[in-house]
Amino acid sequence: MAAEEDPSCSIVEYMRDHSGYKCGYCKSKNTNFSHGMWAHRMTTGDYQTLIDRGWRRSGKYCYKPTMDKTCCPMYTIKCDALELKLSKTQKKVLKRMRRYLSHGDRKDCRTPEMGNAEVIGDNEEYVKPKFEAKCDVSSVTLPKSIRTQEQSVTSNIAVPETNVVPTAKKPSDTQATSNASSSTKDSPSINQEVRMVVSSGTGPDASRPLCRKAKLIRREKREAKLAKQAQEALARGESLMEASVSKPNNTEKSLEDYLNEPPPANPAHTLELKLVRVNPPEAGFKATYNASYAVFRKYQLEVHHDSESECDKMSYQGFLVDGPLLQWQPSSGPELGYGSFHHQYWLDDRLIAVGVLDILPHCVSSVYLYYDPEYSFLSLGTYASLRELALVRELQQRTASLRWYYMGFYIHSCPKMRYKGKYKPSYLLCPETYEWISIELATPKLDRVKYSRLTDNPSAVDVNGRVDTSKILILHNQMLIRYGNYQADCADDDEDEEINEYASLVGAKSAYSLLLCRS
């Protein structure tokens, strides 16, 4: 059966600029360099291809760091959610949250391993756009044959599978997917509103107890059986040594084991998670807009020390609400479809944190996290990342290709931003070949020099970098033409240079798929 194809198309406007701007890491005033473009609208598939080439969005503005020139190189990082190995610190954060929810224990559990990232926030790579779009073409009507034209260009292009990890030694994706599906088949699916209430007898049906994992139920039955055998042995006058009562298997607890551990009868607090669609905005998002903005404003003022004007509603709207991603809901995709969402954390019916997420064909991409600073003692940065990893694992049960968690950029030259490498197994994107390299193999290179080609093979090349610019689709005066035809009538040498630069940055797959707006 042929895979479903998104019928929508993406429209972008390339913004050529080579000037430097202030760096949020080393605080230099003009040594941070990146390329940018305005996404009037973007399909989730096209954005997946772009982030696999080092791009990232901030609102509708997409940017790609100039890796060999910028002061603090930013490497795209992703974690394999299905193969997640929890660190000691991450387990402590999960246990700390459980103690707080169960008993109200407020003891701070941040450790030296976390560094300052948990204190100052997790998303410092946010880049504010230096330009706005020259015109709004997000709602322009295009010929119905547009998808056919794109397919005729891209059908003969051979591009590498961006989600293959060439340096990782692990089972095939098929085997891993099968194992993950079988091990988590009893987990609840995501509904229109994700409800994870940490109290018994609550949920969609308050008359029924909270759903529990089959693995946990089997463990309790086994322990009860062993205890019964021990009692019978004592009644017969045997010692426990003679009864040979074996202990339960000391297996490694999974992320779900920590998150779904049953609460006590009367927990001190309840935590509820809701996943609400932002674009187009659903009723749940609209109803909580003011509460969400209030948390954002408080976070920016107290944690990032923004001015009032820097965190007003217009800034919030442009940064974390308005976005280019088009909703797509294929039958084989996640229940809520692909697109942009807010992952809300409600503590005792009070909104305390929001994770801004893009759900894409192969991953969940973390855009930003903000939270109420009053609850920083809960290490919400780490906790939210683990919750988002759990979301990936849940989505993967329905959509086999969706197994990755993208954490934005990893900045090795900034020690406080290295915490992202603590989520294992993680991979960094080579800035020259666009292959994914295990972080264990990549960091020794970055210890020596802050910018490095991460691929070991000296003959490896960017096979997606060869672009026939004459075949790029141009949107000019609401007319769709090839750049080769546009070039003959309108382009000059400077524009040719700009188009070649754009093509090399987005790669062949995107260059032939995106519609490039020219004024």
pLDDT in tens, 428-485: 999 999 999 999 999 999 999 999 999 999 999 999 999 999 999 999 888 899 999 9
Question: Does residue 344 sit in helix, strand or coil?
Answer: strand
Identity of the amino acid at 432: E
Q: Please, what is the end-to-end C-alpha distance for the chain in angstroms?
A: 41
pLDDT value, residue 24: 83
Task: Judge whether residue 212 has pLDDT over 80.
Answer: no
Q: Band of the pLDDT at 175, cuts 50, 70, 90?
A: very low
Q: Band of the pLDDT at 183, cuts 50, 70, 90?
A: very low
pLDDT tens digits, one per residue of 28-45: 889 999 999 999 999 999
The span from the CA of 163 to the CA of 161, in Å, is: 6
- For residues 81, 83, 86 and 87, what is the CA-based torsion angle, rounded to 10 degrees? -110
The span from the CA of 374 to the CA of 298, in Å, is: 10
Task: Judge whether residue 257 has pLDDT over 90.
Answer: yes
Task: Judge whether residue 12 has pLDDT over 50.
Answer: yes
pLDDT value, residue 241: 53
Cβ-contact 434, 453 below 8 angstroms: no
pLDDT value, residue 170: 44
Question: Does residue 258 sit in helix, strand or coil?
Answer: helix
pLDDT tens digits, one per residue of 42-91: 999 999 999 999 999 999 999 999 999 999 999 999 999 999 999 999 99
pLDDT value, residue 67: 96
Phi, psi angle pair for 255, to nearest 5°: -60, -40
Mean pLDDT of the chain: 83
pLDDT tens digits, one per residue of 127-174: 566 566 767 777 777 665 454 555 555 444 444 444 444 444 444 444
Cβ-contact 384, 352 below 8 angstroms: no
Task: Judge whether residue 323 has pLDDT over 60.
Answer: yes
pLDDT value, residue 349: 96
pLDDT tens digits, one per residue of 360-398: 999 999 999 999 999 999 999 999 999 999 999 999 999
